[in-house]
Structure 1
Amino acid sequence: MMEGRADTEPEKEPSEDSAEELYENAPCGYLSTSPDGRILKVNQTFLTWTGHSREALLGGKRFWELLTVAGRIFHETHYAPLLQMQGFVQELSLDIVCADGRPLPALINSVQKRDALGRPRFVRTTLFNMTERKRYERELLMARRKAEQLAQSKSALLATLSHEIRNPLNAITAATRLLGMTTLSDKQSKYLRILGSASGNLLALVNDILDWSKIEAGKLSLEQREFSLRELLGDILNGQAARAEEKRLRLQMEIDERVPAGLLGDPVKLGQILTNLVSNALKFTEKGGVTVSVALRSRDGDACDLAFQVRDTGIGIPPDRLAAIFEEYTQANYDIGMKYGGTGLGLSISRKLVALHGSKMVVESEVGRGTCFSFDLRLKAVAEGAAAGTAPSSAASPQALRGLKVLVVEDNEVNTYVLARWFEHWGVSFDAVRNGREAVERLRQGSYELVLMDLHMPVLDGYDALKVIRRLPDERLRQIPIIAISASTRVWEESQVLSAGFTDFIGKPFDEAVLFRKMARCTSREVPEAPAQPPEAAPRAPGAAADALVLAPDFSFTKLRQWGAGDPQASAALARSSAQALEQARLTLTAALKKGAPDEYERAFESITGPLHLLEAHGLAAALRRARALLAGTAPDATRLQAAVFAIDWEVESLVGALVTLASEAAP
């Protein structure tokens, strides 16, 4: 037994030595101090970190003497009172002064030990060396700053590229429209359609990338303005109607009758969401159709909870790819991307815009049967008749701008030329200058009614020129309407431009119809409502340019002559039969519109698809599609129906007049 005890006793000493060694060489520093702060014990780790000797510290040195000046103040005002009050201090960051004077960042935890009577005996402090952590923090901070600088550089680059790309793109798209108003051969018309399609796709690509950059940079915010949801949806469906008709797809909307006529929200961003969803649905649908529906879930006072859905009968999405379709630059699979094209940004942008409204995009799909995208929004209702629609319900007179005198401030000659062609078309007289300084001088000399001003120009840009103009002594010039024009993404929000003092804003590439409406509105040249009867239409040569922006007939007799095989008598017979068919259909179409009978309207529309194709009557076809979209909605606006009847009458009158002229010229 004695031998056994002798064997066990020597094992205690190594165990005690190991505990002391663990204390001395622990990965953290240890200090024990008296209640008045004198250092009683310290481990080797702390000595190694700081370079102090044990003798120097245990010879009456106090803990607070090892701190920096700022640390001593913090010790007196926070550390010591907290320790006295609660008996412990946790996770305090202080700098320890080393023997060579350098600071050592440390994380400190202290516990006060008391005797049986509750009197303080000593304080045990644990210190963690924060040198590496501070270095990592500095590196992370530097990396964050670099990332922010990179994001700012990317934003600036996109803004510059936007201006450089959209300026020539504006000229391309506008020149394409102008070229389409001239007499063209069949081959030229085909090339023109290809050019228009390619420029439109390029513009969509640029817009998607720029929209994504705005969202990433957090530059988008919601505006609050009054609008009509029915008009917004009608405009979206009208814009997509041509694409649906090309693929022979149904495109319809269903709006709950309880949805208020006027709402308060951001119609631009809501329109972008719905346009992306409808465009995407049409792209991936080969047969059947696309339906946009809005239902009123509940209403609490002015607050309306609306449920939006865009359903299609397209190819569908596999279940394992539903989540991936919302990722940027991603489509359901490689084959779909190759077949249908696109950037893969549309759905991602829509989802983020929905999230900006505080909602969530939901998708349900079945392969081969279709897809449904849905989201809920809470919007406020406004008083009946108070909503300012996204498009004016009254039609602007085709001659509304005739005689208007405009000053164009634009440093790009191509853009000035494009504007000149449109102004010539509308009967607008104008002068052009290349920078803001010249604009101020010209305004002092001339009597202009409106200014179109680019924002980014040499010498004096649009913003500075505006400030000068608004400070001129002439009251008329201080009040003159000025429309800002820009292709740059630096103009993040229309409200930002308007708050600077501009009357209105239009981005490039701009739609000439939008420009026409803005110019008419800014100069108070809008007509309160469309005339009850269309003006007498004079026959015109096929393909000749019209004198009006809206309701301008657009047709060609090239195919009709080809079908006549060069025989004037055959061409005359085809012209007379087409005129008769159009006249008969017009009566049925307008009657169906006035009664609100979509089925009768659809049958009449289908009865003249042949003549529409033969005569390439794009203007009449567009007017018919707009009217059909109105009937598809719930309780269409009477003013818009009246305008649709007027448009159909105008197009048919012009087309029939030209057909009668053609038939009489071919008669023996």
Structure 2
Amino acid sequence: MLPEELLEESAEELYEHAPCGYISTRPDGLIIKVNQTFLSWTGYQREELLGRKRFYELLTMAGRIYHETHYAPLLQMQGFVRELSLELVCADRRTIPILLNSVQKKDADGTPLYHRTTLFNATERKRYERELLLERRKAEQLAQSKATLLATISHEIRNPLNALTAATRLLGMTALSEKQEKYLRILVTSSGSLLDLVNDILDWSKIEAGKLSLEQRPFDPRELLRGVVNGMAARAEEKKLLLRAELDERLPASLVGDPVKLGQILTNLTGNALTFTERGSVTLTVAVRAQHAGECSVEFRVSDTGIGIAPDRVAAIFEEYTQASYDIGMRYGGTGLGLAISRKLLELHGSKMSVESEVGKGSCFSFELRLKSGENVPTERPRSTLPEQALRGLRVLLAEDSEVNTYVLTHWFERWGIAFDTVQNGRLAVEQVRKGGYDLVLMDLHMPELNGYEAARTIRQLPDERLHQLPIIAISASAQLSQQGRVRTAGFTDFIGKPFDTDVLFRMMALHTSRELPEPPERPAQEPAREPLEPLASSTAPALDFSLARLEQRAAGDPQVLAALARLTLHELEQARPALRSALAAGAPDKLEHLCQELAGTIRMLDAAALAATLRRAKGLLASDKRAPARVQAVTSAVDWEMETLIEALAGIANQDF
């Protein structure tokens, strides 16, 4: 055993040269003991500190304030302080970042004797934190640069792609020889493949940015699957493959979920199966695995007789930009994003993909979703054909800097009987609009001298009141996720992305110029009696009283136009709803009147008689001297109920993303 003196010497040496600093102070902060490690860090002599300095005197000014407001009160109240970050001022005025732990030592009566403090030199830690922060900023800048690059590349690809698809369609309307028709089919197929590639990349960018979320609305699963199969039928016929769908008879007529994203998953899987199958068949199978308490577990399977996948490559095919092998990528092409996107979309659903495959015999991709059974989905009115003469005589200004896009669009204008002028930048567009006479402006967002955003903003600020209502449609090939908000803020009436369907553009122009559209089928003289509504919790709840007939009439049976119009109306109602609540709560009749005037057009379009009546009651209440809180609360609830009813109805059809 070591002598007691040696043990004491060893303990003292450990204290003096420990890897951390030790100091002991009286309750008033006067330093009474300090180890050599602390002295080495700070450059002080022992005699400078012991009995001469208080601990807070060694801190920076900010540290002294923190000592008085946090450290000292905490130590007094709880008897200890842990992991406080402060800075010491050294003898040569340098500063050292430290992490501090203190404990209060008391006698048997509970009287504080002294404070023992352990200090860790945090210089390396702070340096590491700064490096991490710097790397994080670099990563954020890289992500922003990536998003900007993606938007730029998208713009540069979509501009010529828009011209390519539109010109191809125009070419198909001319007389062609058999050989020219063959070339045209190649052109259509190639431009379609290029568009699929661009869309895959943009979908992946949205997923990475966390901008995707699931909708919950009723849909007809048979209609969804019919659309997937019909969309892929041409590819199957071209390769002489049998494409078939097998549906479980127990499949409900309606399910609640996100049909757009489910359709995208099935389209990706079916498209892959057709791509990698040279002979045989591709089968899409839907089977009900379980039904319980209004929910349904449905298994979706896409199987093929294609080339199959090697076992060691199954996991790799779900990685972004990855094909099963280099040879397959060279032979069949593609981005390698389809399966990665499908996997991410399934993760949003809380599901995952299963794969069974054998090289040379085929593959089977399957997944299972648990979906709620919905009410019977109302059948949609068949899309009516809008006559080309509907836009005849319209006067349009086209602001577009791309000569190719201008050439193609003006040929469509000529076909539709539209009188038009063209300019190449936003400055000239503003000058032309000042001259007047236009029914509508089509404006590219990215132009020299004055871009589309600035041009639209300038037009809306002109003194001519008519220009405040002039329809201005933005056209752009950009893919930036935040663009929609900027377009609305700049004063555009609507937005269409490149490459666009000319039918969609035609209907959008007709919609915003109030041209004659085909009337919806007339209602029978005597409508069948409505099913009684479920009783509500409150007997004072207003009755459901509105109609979407005018909205559908303006859309002329086009689901995309109907969704765009519903989205605009929905946005207006969602913005007005809290403002109405605020006006009623504040008892502000002028503000309420202003809001009612702004909503007047929307109320007329939706035939929202119940909302109109409720707002009249609200205005009457605010105009009277009897504003009992209970009456104000009741009318506020009634207005809110009617707004919620309209919002829910519009949300059901506003499912397209413009």
Structure-2-length-normalised TM-score: 0.69
Counterpart pick for 2:320 among 299, 311, 328: 328
| CA distance in 2: counterparts of 1:36 and 1:193, whole angstroms | 90
- Tell me, yes or no, if structure 1 residue 91 matches structure 2 residue 83: yes
Quickly say closer, same or farther: Cα 1:375–1:417, change in 2 above 3 A: farther
With CA pairs under 8 Å and 6+ residues apart, which has the higher RCO, 1 or 2?
A: 1
| CA distance in 2: counterparts of 1:252 and 1:515, whole angstroms | 34
Partner residue, 2:518: 527
Q: CA deviation at 1:47?
A: 0.6
Quickly say closer, same or farther: Cα 1:458–1:493, change in 2 above 3 A: closer
Letter matched to residue 489 of structure 1: A
Q: CA deviation at 1:507?
A: 1.4
| CA distance in 2: counterparts of 1:492 and 1:220, whole angstroms | 13
Quickly say closer, same or farther: Cα 1:224–1:85, change in 2 above 3 A: same
| CA distance in 2: counterparts of 1:469 and 1:382, whole angstroms | 47
Partner residue, 2:268: 276
- Tell me, yes or no, if structure 1 residue 39 matches structure 2 residue 31: yes
Partner residue, 2:383: 394
Q: CA deviation at 1:101?
A: 1.6
Report if the CA contact (8 A) 2:233-2:243 is conserved.
Answer: no
Instruction: Provide, for residues 132-156 of structure 1, a one-character-per-residue CA deviation record: whole Å limited to 9, x for no partner.
Output: 1101111111111122112212222
| CA distance in 2: counterparts of 1:300 and 1:434, whole angstroms | 61
Structure 2 residue matching 1:490: 3-state secondary structure: coil
- Tell me, yes or no, if structure 1 residue 363 matches structure 2 residue 354: yes
Instruction: Provide, for residues 547-596 of structure 1, a one-character-per-residue CA deviation record: whole Å limited to 9, x for no partner.
Output: xxx9xxxxxxxxxxxxxxxxxxxxxxxxxxxxxxxxxxxxxxxxxxxxxx
RMSD: 3.6
Instruction: Provide, for residues 156-193 of structure 1, a one-character-per-residue CA deviation record: whole Å limited to 9, x for no partner.
Output: 22222221222122222322333333333444333333
Letter matched to residue 313 of structure 1: D
Instruction: Provide, for residues 423-470 of structure 1, a one-character-per-residue CA deviation record: whole Å limited to 9, x for no partner.
Output: 334444432222334334434545444332211222332223333444
Q: CA deviation at 1:225?
A: 8.5
Instruction: Provide, for residues 473-525 of structure 1, a one-character-per-residue CA deviation record: whole Å limited to 9, x for no partner.
Output: 65654334333210012354656645654343221122333333433444454
Q: CA deviation at 1:216?
A: 2.6
Structure 2 residue matching 1:27: 3-state secondary structure: coil
Partner residue, 1:175: 167
Partner residue, 1:454: 444
Quickly say closer, same or farther: Cα 1:359–1:514, change in 2 above 3 A: farther
| CA distance in 2: counterparts of 1:135 and 1:70, whole angstroms | 20
Partner residue, 1:419: 409
Structure 2 residue matching 1:30: 3-state secondary structure: strand
Q: CA deviation at 1:22?
A: 1.9
| CA distance in 2: counterparts of 1:422 and 1:373, whole angstroms | 44
Partner residue, 1:197: 189
| CA distance in 2: counterparts of 1:483 and 1:228, whole angstroms | 33
Structure 2 residue matching 1:127: 3-state secondary structure: strand
| CA distance in 2: counterparts of 1:241 and 1:235, whole angstroms | 10
251-260 vs 292-301, greater mean Cα deviation:
292-301
| CA distance in 2: counterparts of 1:496 and 1:350, whole angstroms | 30
129-138 vs 483-492, greater mean Cα deviation:
483-492
Aligned length: 515
Partner residue, 1:465: 455
Quickly say closer, same or farther: Cα 1:516–1:186, change in 2 above 3 A: same
431-440 vs 409-418, greater mean Cα deviation:
431-440
Report if the CA contact (8 A) 1:50-1:99 is conserved.
Answer: yes
Letter matched to residue 496 of structure 2: I
Report if the CA contact (8 A) 1:281-1:290 is conserved.
Answer: no
Structure 2 residue matching 1:91: 3-state secondary structure: strand
Partner residue, 2:108: 116
Letter matched to residue 329 of structure 1: Y
| CA distance in 2: counterparts of 1:461 and 1:491, whole angstroms | 18
Letter matched to residue 506 of structure 2: F
Letter matched to residue 242 of structure 2: L
- Tell me, yes or no, if structure 1 residue 30 matches structure 2 residue 22: yes
Partner residue, 1:641: none
Letter matched to residue 258 of structure 1: P
Report if the CA contact (8 A) 1:241-1:251 is conserved.
Answer: no
Partner residue, 2:130: 138
Structure 1 residue matching 2:388: 3-state secondary structure: coil
Q: CA deviation at 1:235?
A: 4.2
Letter matched to residue 250 of structure 1: L
Report if the CA contact (8 A) 1:394-1:527 is conserved.
Answer: no
- Tell me, yes or no, if structure 1 residue 442 matches structure 2 residue 440: no
Report if the CA contact (8 A) 1:487-1:507 is conserved.
Answer: yes
| CA distance in 2: counterparts of 1:379 and 1:437, whole angstroms | 54
Quickly say closer, same or farther: Cα 1:147–1:501, change in 2 above 3 A: same
Partner residue, 2:245: 252
Q: CA deviation at 1:27?
A: 1.0
| CA distance in 1: counterparts of 2:374 and 2:425, whole angstroms | 44
Structure 2 residue matching 1:37: 3-state secondary structure: coil
Quickly say closer, same or farther: Cα 1:334–1:451, change in 2 above 3 A: same
Quickly say closer, same or farther: Cα 1:141–1:84, change in 2 above 3 A: same
| CA distance in 1: counterparts of 2:455 and 2:246, whole angstroms | 46
Letter matched to residue 281 of structure 2: G
Task: Flag the structure with larger Rg.
Answer: 1
Counterpart pick for 1:163 among 132, 143, 155: 155
Counterpart pick for 1:288 among 281, 285, 294: 281
Partner residue, 1:509: 499
Structure 1 residue matching 2:19: 3-state secondary structure: coil
Following superposition of structure 1 onto structure 2, how do residues 477-626 of structure 1 map, counting pairs within 5 Å?
477-490=467-480, 492=482, 494=484, 497-498=487-488, 501-523=491-513, 524-528=515-519
| CA distance in 1: counterparts of 2:299 and 2:430, whole angstroms | 49
Report if the CA contact (8 A) 1:258-1:296 is conserved.
Answer: no
Structure-1-length-normalised TM-score: 0.68
- Tell me, yes or no, if structure 1 residue 309 matches structure 2 residue 300: yes
Q: CA deviation at 1:528?
A: 4.2
Report if the CA contact (8 A) 2:257-2:371 is conserved.
Answer: no
Q: CA deviation at 1:322?
A: 4.0
| CA distance in 2: counterparts of 1:525 and 1:231, whole angstroms | 31
Q: CA deviation at 1:226?
A: 8.7
